[in-house]
Chains A and B, each alone.
Chain A
Amino acid sequence: MKKGAPISDQELLQLMKEGNEIDDAIRYIYSEYHEGLSSLITYNSGSWEDAQDIIQESILCFIQIVKEGKFRGESSIKTFLYSLTRNIWLNELKKRGRMEKRNKIFEESRDELENSTMDGVEKREANKQLLEILNELGEGCRKILTLFYYENLSMKEILMQTEFENEQVVRNKKHKCLKQLTETISNNPALAENLKRIIK
């Protein structure tokens, strides 16, 4: 993707669906929508740090929705992303018990589309829980599993990026880590139920 060149919604969706182009899609979303999304939050009682966190969570939910084929293109990406971010932020404000009068007006201005993005709010809550579980797994396990399942690297390539002795040690470690994560999920029915909702 040429840097700075405008792209259509269809092209952006295509980038998001193709695993190897996802970074370009995320960069484009940041360059195009970060400023507006940030203002949406800072104007509605959020700090600059809140804005950065919420935008990141919102983009993650949006990519999940697109990958699951649930973004039907009835609105533009921009409109959908703003509605999703707004709903996530409103939900966060409610949780913090900081719903001011102005934010209540902001909430009441929800339209049909915004209600349809509530699915994203549920995803965000489940994602937060899941990311906490992954954090508990420890840096070493997270790295090896991410390199294998997210970056799609072979055992040989992972060996070059880590300090393990040989491929068999990498393989054993990966199995042990995945087993640990699987057991955490299977021992936590509430978490498993949430995961079913966010994972296709």
Chain B
Amino acid sequence: MSNAKEYNMEYLMQYLDGEFSTAENMQLESDLSNNIDLQNQLSYLRMAIESVKLGGLNARIATIADEFRNEKPEEAPVIKMKKTRTVSYYALRIAAVFLIAACSYFALLYTTVSQEKLFAEKFVPYEIPASRSGAHGTDLEIFYTQQRFDQVLSLMYPLEDRTQKELFLGGMAAMRSGKPAAAKEMFEKLMEENNKSQDFVYQEDADYYLGLTYVKLGEYDKARNLFLHIEKDPKHSYHSQVSSMDLLKLKILSWKK
């Protein structure tokens, strides 16, 4: 390597960390131009530094994601147990009582939970807000408001011609007239259209009601997936409608199937 001096990794680190004088920089850059090994060594070092920066950025994203997900309106207070000499004895007794109670409750839940009951508990008929219904609505909206669901469904096909709003109302009309398979088709079509257009119209309503449609059709894993999405997102419009107990019931229904 001609007149170039021997460089060790520490020396190259100092160069990359900007700790060199102008003269030292010039010397190194001159040596780099005709030393492939040195170029490679420097290149690997640069990769390592850029990797660290990328890892740092990834960690920041993860932290912000956690903050975002934890932005709940109210946090449950943390209750600290007072420690006493007999705490383990009483704790074990209390735990045993709770365990027995929990097992009994679970057994009761297992035997009593049913598709019909869960659906009835969760289903609330969707009503078009007053300002959007009435004389100024489309035929489809007017039929829906008047609960003439068969007429609504007669206007739905082919689904390709329907707007996202119409697909949602069609899905609701199908649900309310006892046609869950048709409701599923329309809600899924609505979500497909939303994915394509990336304009998430009636998305949160569809999350909830498609979940209920899956319950009605006995597709409990799919229902649970949608309900889990709602339950985990405190900003979802239907967040208060879905509890962890509902998720447990869906899991039980899936086991019983």
* Number of residues on chain A facing chain B (CB within 8 A): 57
Q: Give A105 to B81 CA distance when docked, in angstroms.
A: 55
Which one, A47, A151, A192, contacts B228 given CB within 8 A? Answer: A47
Interface positions of B from 172 to 207, Cβ below 8 Å from A: 188, 191-192, 194-196, 198, 200, 203-204, 207
Q: Is B97 an interface residue (CB 8 A)?
A: no
Q: Is B94 an interface residue (CB 8 A)?
A: no
Q: How far is the CB of A23 from chain B (nearest CB, A)?
A: 6
Chain B residues contacting A27 (CB-CB under 8 Å) are 64, 67-68
Q: Is B109 an interface residue (CB 8 A)?
A: no
Q: Is the CB of B228 within 8 A of A185?
A: no
Q: How far is the CB of B188 from chain A (nearest CB, A)?
A: 8
Q: Is the CB of A182 within 8 A of B195?
A: no
Q: Is the CB of B64 within 8 A of A39?
A: no
Interface positions of B from 38 to 55, Cβ below 8 Å from A: 40-41, 44-55
Q: Given A39-B207, A47-B225, A82-B198, does the pair A151, B56 have CB atoms closer than 8 Å?
A: yes
User: How would you classify the secondary structure of chain B's contact residues: helix, strand, loop or mixed?
Assistant: helix
Interface positions of A from 178 to 200, Cβ below 8 Å from B: 178-179, 181-182, 185-186, 192, 195-196, 198-200
Q: Is A164 an interface residue (CB 8 A)?
A: no
Q: Is the CB of B56 within 8 A of A185?
A: no
Q: Give A82 to B191 CA distance when docked, in angstroms.
A: 14
Chain A residues contacting B87 (CB-CB under 8 Å) are none
Q: Is the CB of A106 within 8 A of B195?
A: yes
Q: Is B101 an interface residue (CB 8 A)?
A: no
Chain B 122-140 per-residue mask, 1 if CB under 8 angstroms from chain A, else 0: 0000000000000000000
Interface positions of B from 10 to 52, Cβ below 8 Å from A: 10, 13, 40-41, 44-52
CB within 8 Å of B: which residues of A? 22-23, 26-27, 30-31, 34-36, 38-40, 42-44, 47-48, 51-52, 55-56, 59-60, 63-64, 78-79, 82, 86, 102, 105-106, 109, 127, 130-131, 133-134, 142, 145-146, 149-151, 175, 178-179, 181-182, 185-186, 192, 195-196, 198-200
